[in-house]
Amino acid sequence: MKKGIIALLSLAFVITGCASGPSLSTADHTQEWKALEKPLNFYLANDLGRNGYYDQKPIAETMGRMAETIDIEFVLAAGDVHHFEGVQSVSDPLWMTNYELVYSHPDLMIDWYPICGNHEYRSNTDAVVQYSSVSARWEMPAKYYTFVKEEDGVTVRVIMLDTTPMIDKYRGETEKYADASKSDYMEQLAWLDNVLSEADEDWVLAVGHHPIYAYTDKSESERTDLQQRLDPVLRKYGNVDMYLCGHIHTFQHIRKNGCDIDYVVNTSGSLSRDDVQTVDGTVFCSNKSGYSLITADSTELNLHMLDKDGNVLHTVKRTK
C-alpha cells in the first residue's frame, strides 16, 4: 500500500537543506508557454540523477514553473533517474536526493512513468519497479508496459520499453549489469509486436532509454543491436509516430529515408555532453541540457525540445 510521503516533501526539503533558491533565469515565458498548450500535455525527462547538482535543480524548477502555466498530465522518465550505481532498495537515500526532493514543485506531484536505464541496471532493477508501492506518483507496473491517455477526444498510446537487455554489451557484462542477462528480450519484442498490432490510437509513442539512431562516441554495437532487434518491430505496422529515448545527453532529431518514424533523443535533465554532430538523417541536434514538452490534439502532435530556462530549441511536429 502506498505511503503518504508526498505530503511531507516540502517540509523535508527545507529541513535537509536540499532546497535551492530561484533559478537565475527570471524571464517571463508565460505567454510563450501558454501558446504551446493543447488538450493533452506531458513531459519527457531522463538522465536525471545527479543529487540535484549541475543543471538538475534549475531544470526541475523550470519544469515546475511551466506546469503552473500549462496543464501537465504526467511525466515520462526515460531511464537513468539514478546515475552511477542505481539503487539498492526502495529505501535507498538516492530516492530522496535524486528524485523526491528535487522534483518537489506542487505541479510535479503527478504521475511519473519510468523505465530503467543502463545505470539502474548496475544495481537492483526490481527495486525501481517496487518503488511504485512507496511513492504516490511513481507508476511503474513492470520493466516494460503500455498505457493510453485520453483528453478531449484525443488518444495517445505510450509504450515503455526496457532496452538494456536488448543490447549484448550489457548482457555480457554480468558482474556490472547482473540483471540484464536475466531478461528474455525476445519475449519483450513479441509483446511489443502484439501491442502494436492492435494500436489504433491517434498517436503512438515508443519510449526506450537507448537510441536506435544517434551521434555518440559510445559503442556502435548499442545502436546496431537495436537496429536489428527493436527497429523492425517499431516499423512493422506503420503506426509508431515517434521513438523517444535518452542516454546520449544531447538533443537529436533524426528521420531515416523510407521510414515515417521520428527518432528523438532527449537530452539530460542534469548534465549534458558538449560533443554532438550530425549523422545520416539528422534534422536537428544541440548540446544543451533540458527536457521536452509533448502536446497533442486529434490532428497535431508536437514535441518541443526545451533548454534549462524553458526556451524552445526545436519542435518535432506530426500532423494528420
Q: What is the DSSP letter of 288?
A: -
Q: Is 80 labeled as ligand-binding? A: yes
Q: What is the DSSP letter of 210?
A: S
Cβ–Cβ under 8 Å, residues 103 and 63: yes
Which amino acid does the sequence have at 311? N
Taking alpha carbons only, the member of 128, 130, 30 closest to residue 86 is 128
Taking alpha carbons only, the member of 235, 286, 295 closest to residue 265 is 286
Q: What number of H helices and E strands is found in the chain?
A: 9, 13
How far is the C-alpha of 248 from the C-alpha of 178, rounded, in Å? 22
Q: Is 107 left (phi over 0), alpha (psi -120 to 50) or beta?
A: alpha
Q: Is 41 labeled as ligand-binding? A: no
Buried b (16+ CB within 10 A) or exposed e, 296-318: bbeeebbbbbbbbbbbbbbebeb
Cβ–Cβ under 8 Å, residues 155 and 203: yes
Give SS3 for 183: coil
Which amino acid does the sequence have at 177? Y
How far is the C-alpha of 128 from the C-alpha of 160, rounded, in Å? 14
How far is the C-alpha of 56 from the C-alpha of 50, rounded, in Å? 7
Q: Is 152 labeled as ligand-binding? A: no
Cβ–Cβ under 8 Å, residues 130 and 90: yes
Q: Is 247 labeled as ligand-binding? A: yes
Residue with cell 527497429: 231
Binding site feature residues? 47, 80, 118, 209, 247, 249
Mark the binding-site residues for Fe cation, compressed into ranges: 47, 80, 118, 209, 247, 249
